[in-house]
Amino acid sequence: MPGLWFEELPVGRVIDAEWTRTVTEADNVLFCSMTMNVQRLHLDAEFAAGTEFGRPLVNSLFTLGLMIGMSVHNLTQGTTVANLGMTDTVFPAPVFAGDTIHVRTTVVAARESRSRPDAGIVTFRHDAFNQAGALVARCDRQALMRRRPVETA
């Protein structure tokens, strides 16, 4: 499914990502390496074994990126102009290698752009859940979305 136009995003609309994604240890190590995050809690199994979690945590910024990325295909692919910001980001439960994530997005606000007649501003609430149904991440994302083009004869 291609991305949705501004007109297709009324407040209250719920869109589930079309797939799930199992997070791997390699995902976590690669992401930490690429972002130069050397936090032992993400990378050192012996260290993490001595924490309350008992094993390495997946980097929360990977979880955030995965959550938003999983929504792109059937929500904003080809119809977004730009992200405007992200607010109210929380990680209420940890993600571990082997967890399978699914994402649900709810439109929580939408308005026409005052400066761009070809676009509107939409606030998406992205929720990511693990295989047990626990909420592992939430973020409100504001995006400038294209309006449906006017068809000419």
Q: Which two tokens stand for residue 130?
A: 């693990």
Has residue 1 been placed in a domain?
A: no
Nearest to 111 by CA among 84, 86, 151, 88: 84
Query: Is 91 domain-assigned?
Result: yes
Instruction: Give the range of the structural domain holding residue 117, as residue numbers without chain letter.
Output: 12-24+60-146
Q: In Å, what is the CA distance from 15 to each residue of 33, 49, 138?
A: 32, 37, 15
CB distance 123 to 107 below 8 Å? yes
Residue 51 domain flag? no
Nearest to 108 by CA among 147, 141, 75, 84: 141
Give SS3 for 107.
strand
Spell out the per-residue pLDDT of the chain, length 153, in tens.
Answer: 578 999 999 999 999 999 999 999 999 999 999 999 999 999 999 999 999 999 999 999 999 999 999 999 989 999 999 999 999 999 999 999 999 999 999 999 999 999 999 999 999 999 999 999 999 999 999 999 999 987 766
Question: Which pTM value belongs to this model?
Answer: 0.93
